[in-house]
């Protein structure tokens, strides 16, 4: 298989680079995730986005280490991301949670570790602790406490860059005003139906790279609103796809890249995995960019009950 070389964006203060296209693994079931990662590495992906909460880190780790063992890639070629779940926000839980992800993945360090959500859940129980009435049980752990514990993980060499996911600009600024190590990256939902212009501009101004999850509006997510489930059938995207001999998905991903946003499309289908990285042989015009922007519905599709406005 001919592989694609993906450019990188500078991340953090140490001169590291994050490949601007990565493989998303949310909702990739066990077994499928392993095959998807192997296919992705063969196709040229070097950025793999993971999370403890996805429940597939061990499968992903097997795929990564098999590719390292067969000489296809070196560990230093890869950029591996994982995330701290909400039940592990207390300072004493952060390092063990990171070490568990490293154990699952079969790695000695992560390139980037994110706080998955600003919201802390009650520690020591299930992923979604609830009372007898079915209400989520939250903890009063502030994300600044969590951040300080992450900084210590950087000091110990367990992770090279730390960042945030699903935080809004006020929360990010709170961390920037009180941190020793600045957040290197923000990962949030961004797609043509939810373009997040203000947050993107804020991150660029503050020197954070920004990564779009669900860049294709997560059509396979049961929680996606019916009116937002057909992004890839939008006439505008189909027209632009015809213009450039590309798919609607490739048009969307290119639109995000030209906004200086890293993309992590999820797929377990080999043909789509390969297609989603073939983004560097065309460029949208200013008018094309505006046409895609006009699709914005200002509509969040993922986990809105855990996220504040502008995050």
CB 113 within 8 A of CB 150: yes
> How would you list the strands of the sheet with 23-24, edge to edge?
23-24, 47-49, 79-84, 112-115, 162-165, 185-189, 209-213, 262-263
User: Among the options 54, 113, 143, 193, which is catalytic?
Assistant: 54
- Specify the residue for token string 């196709």: 43
**Residue 54 a catalytic site member:** yes
191 is in an annotated binding site: no
Strands 16-19 and 8-11: antiparallel
Per the CB < 8 A criterion, the answer to whether 202 and 172 are in contact is yes
3-state secondary structure of 286: helix
Give the burial class of 84: count Cβ atoms within 10 A of its Cβ; 0-12 exposed, 13-18 middle, 19 or more buried. buried
Q: Which of 183, 194, 151, 168 is nearest to 298 (CA)?
A: 194
Q: What is the C-alpha to C-alpha distance for residues 114 and 91, in angstroms, rounded to an integer? A: 15
Give the integer Cα–Cα distance in Å for 99 and 111.
13
Binding annotation: 116
Would you please indicate which residues are annotated as catalytic (active-site) residues? 54
Binding annotation for substrate: 116
């Amino acid at each position: 298989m001919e592989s694609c070389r993906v450019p990188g964006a500078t991340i953090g203060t140490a001169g590291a680079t994050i490949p601007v296209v990565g493989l998303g693994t949310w909702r990739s079931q066990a077994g499928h995730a392993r095959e998807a990662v192997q296919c992705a590495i063969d196709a040229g992906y070097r950025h793999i986005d993971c999370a403890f909460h996805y429940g597939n880190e061990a499968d992903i780790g097997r795929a990564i280490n098999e590719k390292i063992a067969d000489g296809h890639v070196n560990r230093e070629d890869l950029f591996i991301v994982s995330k701290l779940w909400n039940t592990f926000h207390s300072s004493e839980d952060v390092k063990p949670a990171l070490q568990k992800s490293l154990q699952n993945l079969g790695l000695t360090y992560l390139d980037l570790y994110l706080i998955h959500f600003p919201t802390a859940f009650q520690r020591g129980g299930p992923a979604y602790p609830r009372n007898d009435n079915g209400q989520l049980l939250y903890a009063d752990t502030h994300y600044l406490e969590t951040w300080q514990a992450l900084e210590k993980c950087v000091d110990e060499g367990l992770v090279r860059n730390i960042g945030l996911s699903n935080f809004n600009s006020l929360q990010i600024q709170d961390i920037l005003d009180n941190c020793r190590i600045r957040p290197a990256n923000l990962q949030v939902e961004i797609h043509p139906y939810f373009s997040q212009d203000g947050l993107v501009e804020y991150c660029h101004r503050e020197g954070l790279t920004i990564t779009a999850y669900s860049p294709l509006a997560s059509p396979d997510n049961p929680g996606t609103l019916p009116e937002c489930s057909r992004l890839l059938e939008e006439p505008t995207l189909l027209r632009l796809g015809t213009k450039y001999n590309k798919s609607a998905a490739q048009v969307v991903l290119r639109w995000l890249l030209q906004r200086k946003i890293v993309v992590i499309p999820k797929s377990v289908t080999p043909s789509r995995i390969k297609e989603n990285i073939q983004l560097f042989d065309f460029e949208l015009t200013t008018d094309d960019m505006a046409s895609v922007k006009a699709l914005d519905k200002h509509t969040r599709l993922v986990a809105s009950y855990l996220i504040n406005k502008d995050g």
